[in-house]
Amino acid sequence: MALVTFTQRLEDLKESANADFQKATTQALVEEARVKYLGAKNGLLKEVQKELGKISKEEKPLAGKALNETKQALQKALDEAESQIRSGVTAAGDQPLFDPTLPGTSYTLGHIHPITQTISELSDIMGRLGFSVVGGPEVEDEDHNFNALNIPQEHPARDPLDNFYLSFAQETNKTPMLLRSQTSTVQIRVMEKTKPPIRIVSLGRVYRPDTADATHYPMFHQMEGLYVDEKVTMADLKTVMHLFAKSYLGEGVKVRFRPSFFPFTEPSVETDFYWNGKWVEYGGAGMVDPNVFRAVGYDPEEVTGFAFGLGVERLCMRRHNVTDIRDLYQNDVQFLRQF
């Protein structure tokens, strides 16, 4: 075969390959053209290459050079076609292959549970009022859940039917243990370890074997508060309750105390907040009973204090208009996503 024929065939190949690669506007078309021209087995370039053997010895170097140049040109055409697809522009015009106005792929993001959100908001509010946040164990002994809180042996609050006592403690004959029924346990734990003045809140789970209904659940959360110093009065308690309620629920909140009884406070009150046209009870409060101070080694002649325990679910539900506590624990994503 003459050298001119050989190089002519290469020229023709280059021309038609360039045209095909330019027309290739999708990845599939580019791939099709690549196989057609540069395919290792039956590619058209390979076909021409086979003719190299028919070229005379003298002309072979020139023919080989031309073959290499063609190969590079085809490779370049392929690279350009691919990069155009990546950039979303076709050789034919500016029409983008990638449509940026199409809706994207959305991912489902994780979500913070409304009670967790409420807990951090309440902690923030109390933090601004100067209360630091502390924690305590959910598995408690009788001492912290009852004895040190001045709850007498025969008090109905200790009834096994009203508490989750843990059988392992009974079996090993140790101090009875239970899932704490109130966060007031943390008052004791803090006072045992710290000297006054004390200004803390503790937010956490408590457990009572109640049948679940719209307003009860066997596990719920409380926010316990404790303020101990010289000359702390009931007026301080009411001020803190008012500032807290105003921060969490909003302006127009009123606070009402109704006389009540708790073994660990004297006097004791039920705490109601008025908001959105309604009085709702949120928990108990009162002035720390001298017996509680004695149990932790404080001198009740020297310090006074107030304590309160508010229902976290109730606060969250009232503010967000949730009417059934069970909704918070069904883990229905449709419901939880609203918060």
Kindly list the residues in this chain that would bind ligand PHE in the complex (CB under 6 A).
182, 184, 262, 265, 268, 283-286, 307-309
Rounded Cα distance between 113 and 120, Å, is 11
CB of 307 to ligand PHE, least distance (A): 4
321, two tokens: 């208009």
Residues 6+ apart with CB under 8 A from 126: 133, 201, 223, 225, 244
Rounded Cα distance between 280 and 284, Å, is 12
CB of 261 to ligand PHE, least distance (A): 10
Rounded Cα distance between 42 and 40, Å, is 6
Residue number, 32 or 162, with CB nearest to ligand PHE: 162
CB of 282 to ligand PHE, least distance (A): 10
Residue number, 20 or 289, with CB nearest to ligand PHE: 289
Cβ atoms of residues 97 and 85 within 8 Å: yes
Residue number, 77 or 178, with CB nearest to ligand PHE: 178
CB of 104 to ligand PHE, least distance (A): 49
Residue number, 118 or 182, with CB nearest to ligand PHE: 182
Helices 60-87, 3-23: axis angle to 10 degrees equals: 0
Using CB atoms within 10 Å of the CB of residue 228, give its burial: 0 to 12 exposed, 13 to 18 middle, 19+ buried.
buried
Residue number, 44 or 285, with CB nearest to ligand PHE: 285
Residue number, 14 or 314, with CB nearest to ligand PHE: 314
CB of 262 to ligand PHE, least distance (A): 4
CB of 224 to ligand PHE, least distance (A): 6
CB of 219 to ligand PHE, least distance (A): 13
User: DSSP character for 195?
Assistant: P
The residue ranges of DSSP E strands in the chain, in sequence order, are 132-133, 139-141, 164-165, 177-179, 198-207, 219-229, 254-262, 265-275, 278-288, 304-311
Closest CA to 44 of 33, 56, 58: 33
Residue number, 55 or 288, with CB nearest to ligand PHE: 288
CB of 146 to ligand PHE, least distance (A): 11
The residue with tokens 């449509």 is 99
Residue 288's DSSP bridge partners are 265
Residue number, 18 or 185, with CB nearest to ligand PHE: 185
Closest CA to 36 of 53, 21, 26: 21
Residue number, 96 or 197, with CB nearest to ligand PHE: 197
CB of 251 to ligand PHE, least distance (A): 26
Asked, as a colleague might, if the bond just before 218 is cis with ω within 30 of 0, I would say no
Rounded Cα distance between 292 and 151, Å, is 10
